[in-house]
């Protein structure tokens, strides 16, 4: 599943094409992947119109929080995009063919900011349909409802904020990092990589870390995620950025997917277990266990 680095890199690649573009038409091929909220009651409604999908609106820009991306129009309405496990969102320039036509669920037809000429298409594709689109009357409504349920963004997490979030749970540090209500943006891949880089055993109790480890962990989270963003994120299977290109950070993974292989630091074979129903890989020699017996 795409995590924070993939969505941040996706937003940066789309920022070169979308701001200022006019949505001249919308082709919704799978209405069931869209969720819309009644503006008065805020209850989910099933029927979605093309107006909800920014028809006739001009795109102001993109926002990201955790693993979610928002397309914001100048007039107010916004769309929240979640890629789920296999979702893709890319810009197809004018005069070029779609790179994939299977499992395409929504297509926005754009006009250029200043000339009004065709500006290509923005394509949402999701083979497994675990992702989707959520329509909001304004970015304020999105922030107040959906994103208010998420913790602070991991890319900018500070020591005090991290310690406050983790001190409220007796779960393992790996399970806590995966909880989007505590910290937004970290999934299974980067949780393993972050804990290895910080030298913390994934079964350590989140609230039992020494003060110095909270500082180390916060810095490691920021540094490792920023590095992953700079390398385009990790393409393990389906992820591509806004230009349709794969990320290269997977070649830098030190523990994720490497159970029973030698640790790159000490040479000991990496261990594998399951934490919070997710496969977890770590080095028992390099990662210290902090837990109250």
- Give the DSSP letter of residue 196: H
Residue of 8, 57, 64, 67 marked active site: 67
Concerning whether 174 is annotated as a catalytic residue, the answer is no
Q: Are 33 and 135 contacting, i.e. CB atoms less than 8 angstroms apart?
A: no
- Give the DSSP letter of residue 13: H
Q: Are 228 and 235 contacting, i.e. CB atoms less than 8 angstroms apart?
A: no
Concerning whether 2 is annotated as a catalytic residue, the answer is yes
Concerning whether 278 is annotated as a catalytic residue, the answer is yes
Q: Using the structure block, give the residue that is written with the tokens 């480890």.
A: 213
Residue of 2, 77, 152, 202 marked active site: 2
Rounded distance between C-alpha atoms, residue 106 and residue 99, angstroms: 14
Rounded distance between C-alpha atoms, residue 192 and residue 84, angstroms: 20
Residue of 50, 100, 222, 278 marked active site: 278
Q: Using the structure block, give the residue that is written with the tokens 């390398």.
A: 231
- Give the DSSP letter of residue 170: -
Q: Are 235 and 247 contacting, i.e. CB atoms less than 8 angstroms apart?
A: yes
Q: Using the structure block, give the residue that is written with the tokens 């970290």.
A: 186
Concerning whether 67 is annotated as a catalytic residue, the answer is yes
Rounded distance between C-alpha atoms, residue 191 and residue 183, angstroms: 11
Catalogue the active-site residues. Answer: 2-3, 67, 278
């Amino acid at each position: 599943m795409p995590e924070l680095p993939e969505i941040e890199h996706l937003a940066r690649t789309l920022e070169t094409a979308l701001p200022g573009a006019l949505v001249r038409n919308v082709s919704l091929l799978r209405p069931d992947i869209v969720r819309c909220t009644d503006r008065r009651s805020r209850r989910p409604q099933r029927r979605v119109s093309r107006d909800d999908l920014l028809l006739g609106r001009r795109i102001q820009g993109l926002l990201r929080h955790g693993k979610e991306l928002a397309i914001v129009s100048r007039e107010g309405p916004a769309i929240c995009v979640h890629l789920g496990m296999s979702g893709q969102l890319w810009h197809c320039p004018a005069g070029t063919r779609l790179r994939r036509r299977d499992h395409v669920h929504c297509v926005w037809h754009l006009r250029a900011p200043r000339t009004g000429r065709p500006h290509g298409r923005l394509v949402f594709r999701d083979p497994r349909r675990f992702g989707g689109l959520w329509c909001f009357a304004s970015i304020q409504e999105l922030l107040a409802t959906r994103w208010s349920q998420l913790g602070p963004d991991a890319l900018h997490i500070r020591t005090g904020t991290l310690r406050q979030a983790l001190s409220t749970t007796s779960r393992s540090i790996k399970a806590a990092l995966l909880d989007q209500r505590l910290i937004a943006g970290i999934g299974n891949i980067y949780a393993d990589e972050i804990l290895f880089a910080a030298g913390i055993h994934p079964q350590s109790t989140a609230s039992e870390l020494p003060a110095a480890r909270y500082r180390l962990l916060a810095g490691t989270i920021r540094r490792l995620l920023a590095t992953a963003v700079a390398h385009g994120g990790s393409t393990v299977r389906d992820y591509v950025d806004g230009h349709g290109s794969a990320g290269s950070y997977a070649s830098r993974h030190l523990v994720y997917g490497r159970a029973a292989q030698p640790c790159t630091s000490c040479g000991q074979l990496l261990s594998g277990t399951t934490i919070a129903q997710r496969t977890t890989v770590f080095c028992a020699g390099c990662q210290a266990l902090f837990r109250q017996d």
